[in-house]
């Protein structure tokens, strides 16, 4: 009889891709995906712990499965990811939810198959949270679920220890995959027809730093992938402002395939707070980097992350953040309310900001960004841009620019996932609207 699985993913793209690897394992064992957990024989929760809200959501979702599992005793429930890499949280999940069969973390997630088979054979609960932070994980075949886009890990872990961030504690130290292996994976993906490849790493700019030969940096990796034959867009996430080099920016500017979209999280516009955050750059340095990028890539599409309400953030500090945003004029901005994470240095810092103020600030921040976005969208009117068609619903075709802006394309006669030139003639909220033109 056909067996089914469902994976519930929280958090970032790294997790989305890790879930594709878990799906790969389940598919190889003959399971197929279902959208409804009531039909599932295996349910996996791939969790996030970057903010408290993500943890609460995951815990709520796991708890909600209890009555279903009561009806379906053979159902196997696994909880993994960043939240259960933290020993205390993993134990909490194991104790609080006795109906959960498997608990494991990020360092050993590639061993999921073993754990699943152990539960199936021995009918015992499995608890495997290990600290293997130096080791490069073994790559597991993915069952890709992101349509035209393929995620590719280039490195794991982070050495930066920003004082608010839990990631270095749950993802371990930085380790890079060998360049030949990454290039070979990308080549295969392009040959298979993927039109977009997104390289993933917590800090892609320090790719290769751990290699002993001192060779193979991020710029070289980008160049190698850019040299591959075929029509595709190459993207990458995430860059750290202290490490993004002029060399990398030049490679992007001169490339055939690399998207002009750069995600460069600034987090805050006050030097005092940046120091407390241990970000290792100043506002001046950040703005110089932005100028350097704009000089090589005038049509760059910049995005950023901002944390409001970091301990000690005064009204004046917050105003500096707004000033910085007005100067840079990002295309996209992700605004977060600071969330205290156990074990991070910021947890113990004085002058924690009250929630009411944090909410006020994030609302103000997002309102400013909406204004900027509206103005920036006007710049597209009348322009012809390259768009990747990705989906069709009724008579509407949905696409994306190289920089990730959503486009509705009217009057498409023949739809297939492919690149077309679109003349933009209208704007609706955060979408551009246009028609295909020959060019
Ligand atoms: N609270 C709020 N936001 C956080 N981020 C990381 N840690 C925290 C935290 N403790 C944000 C940062 C990072 C993004 C992925 O999540 O802005 O760039
Ligand atoms: Fe967290 Fe900073 Fe590392 Fe990003 S660079 S994952 S914010 S510690």
**What is the full DSSP assignment across 86-97?**
SHHHHHHHHHH-
Opening angle at CA 57, ends 51 and 63, nearest 5:
140
Closest ligand 1 atom to residue 337 Cα is 2
pLDDT in tens, 284-298: 999 999 999 999 999
Instruction: Give the distance (Å) from ligand 1 centre to CA of residue 307.
Output: 6
Alpha carbons 47 and 45: distance in angstroms, whole number: 6
Instruction: Give the distance (Å) from ligand 2 centre to CA of residue 337.
Output: 16
List the single range of 58-62, 295-299, 361-365, 411-415 with lowest mean pLDDT.
411-415
Across residues 137-163, what is the average pLDDT? Answer: 93
Does the C-beta of 19 come closer than 6 Å to ligand 1?
Answer: no
Residue carrying structure tokens 């073994």: 138
Ligand 2 mutation target, pool 156, 159, 168, most atoms within 8 A of CB: 168
150 vs 131, residue with greater confidence: 150
Alpha carbons 110 and 86: distance in angstroms, whole number: 17
Q: In the structure encoding, which two tokens stand for residue 131, read together?
A: 């600290």
Instruction: Give the distance (Å) from ligand 2 centre to CA of residue 193.
Output: 33
**Helix residue ranges, H only, 72-152:** 87-96, 112-122
Across residues 181-197, what is the average pLDDT? Answer: 96
Res. 433: pLDDT tops 80:
yes
Closest ligand 1 atom to residue 238 Cα is 18
Give the residue from 177, 184, 237 showing the smallest Cα distance to 208. Answer: 177
Across residues 325-347, what is the average pLDDT? Answer: 96
pLDDT of residue 33: 97
pLDDT of residue 146: 81
Q: What is the mean pLDDT of the chain?
A: 94
For atom 17 of ligand 1, the residue with the nearest CA is 305
Ligand 1 mutation target, pool 15, 48, 49, 51, most atoms within 8 A of CB: 51
Does the C-beta of 336 come closer than 6 Å to ligand 1?
Answer: yes
Does the C-beta of 168 come closer than 6 Å to ligand 2?
Answer: yes
Q: Which residues contact 245 (CB under 8 A, 6 or more apart)?
A: 205, 218, 219
284: alpha, beta or left, given left = phi > 0 and alpha = psi -120 to 50? alpha
Alpha carbons 205 and 98: distance in angstroms, whole number: 42
Across residues 267-275, what is the average pLDDT? Answer: 98
Q: Is 207 helix (H, G, I), strand (E, B) or coil?
A: coil
pLDDT of residue 127: 97
User: Across the strands, what pairs with 421?
Assistant: 386
* Confidence band for 88, pLDDT divided at 50, 70 and 90: very high
Does the C-beta of 240 come closer than 6 Å to ligand 1?
Answer: no
Res. 147: pLDDT tops 90:
no
Sign of CA dihedral 150, 156, 161, 163: positive
* Confidence band for 97, pLDDT divided at 50, 70 and 90: very high
Cα distances (Å, whole numbers) of residue 258 to 77, 204, 222, 246: 40, 14, 8, 15
Q: First vs last Cα of the chain: how many Å apart? A: 53
191 vs 438, residue with greater confidence: 191
Instruction: Give the distance (Å) from ligand 1 centre to CA of residue 411.
Output: 41
* Confidence band for 56, pLDDT divided at 50, 70 and 90: very high
């Amino acid at each position: 009889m056909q067996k089914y699985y469902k994976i519930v993913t929280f958090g970032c793209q790294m997790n989305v891709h890790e879930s594709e690897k878990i799906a790969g394992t389940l598919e190889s064992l003959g399971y197929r995906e279902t959208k409804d957990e009531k039909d599932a024989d295996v349910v996996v929760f791939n969790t996030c712990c970057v903010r408290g809200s993500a943890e609460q959501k995951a815990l709520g979702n796991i708890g909600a499965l209890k009555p279903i599992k009561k009806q379906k005793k053979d159902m196997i429930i696994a909880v993994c990811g960043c939240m259960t890499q933290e020993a205390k949280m993993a134990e909490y999940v194991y104790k609080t939810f006795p109906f959960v069969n498997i608990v494991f973390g990020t360092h050993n997630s590639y061993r999921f198959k073993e754990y699943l088979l152990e539960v199936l054979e021995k009918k015992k609960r499995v608890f495997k949270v290990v600290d293997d932070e130096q080791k490069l994980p073994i790559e597991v075949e993915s069952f890709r679920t992101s349509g035209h886009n393929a995620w590719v890990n280039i490195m794991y872990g982070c050495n930066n220890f920003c004082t608010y961030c839990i990631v270095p504690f749950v993802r371990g130290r930085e380790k890079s995959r060998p360049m030949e292996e990454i290039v070979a994976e990308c080549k295969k993906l392009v040959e298979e027809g993927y039109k977009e490849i997104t390289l993933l790493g917590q800090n892609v700019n320090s790719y290769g730093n751990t290699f002993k030969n001192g060779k193979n940096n991020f710029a070289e990796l980008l160049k190698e992938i850019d040299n591959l034959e075929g029509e595709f867009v190459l993207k990458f996430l995430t860059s750290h402002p202290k490490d993004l080099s002029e060399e990398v920016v030049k490679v992007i500017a001169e490339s055939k395939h690399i998207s002009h979209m750069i995600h460069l999280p600034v987090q805050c516009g006050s030097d005092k707070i940046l120091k407390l955050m241990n970000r290792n750059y100043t506002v001046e340095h950040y703005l110089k980097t932005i100028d350097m990028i704009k000089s090589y890539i005038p049509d760059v599409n910049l995005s950023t992350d901002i944390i409001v309400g970091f301990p000690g953030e005064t009204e004046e500090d917050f105003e500096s953040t707004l000033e910085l945003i007005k100067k840079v004029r990002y295309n996209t901005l992700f605004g977060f309310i600071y969330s205290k994470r156990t074990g991070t240095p910021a947890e113990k810092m004085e002058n924690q900001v009250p929630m009411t103020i944090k909410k006020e600030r994030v609302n103000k921040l997002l309102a400013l960004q909406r204004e900027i976005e509206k103005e920036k969208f006007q710049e597209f009117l009348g322009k012809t841009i390259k768009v990747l068609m990705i989906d069709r619903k009724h008579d509407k075709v949905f696409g994306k620019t190289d920089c990730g802006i959503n486009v509705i394309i009217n009057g498409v006669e023949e739809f297939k996932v492919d690149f077309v030139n679109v003349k933009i003639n209208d704007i609706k909220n955060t979408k551009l609207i246009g028609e295909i033109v020959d060019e």
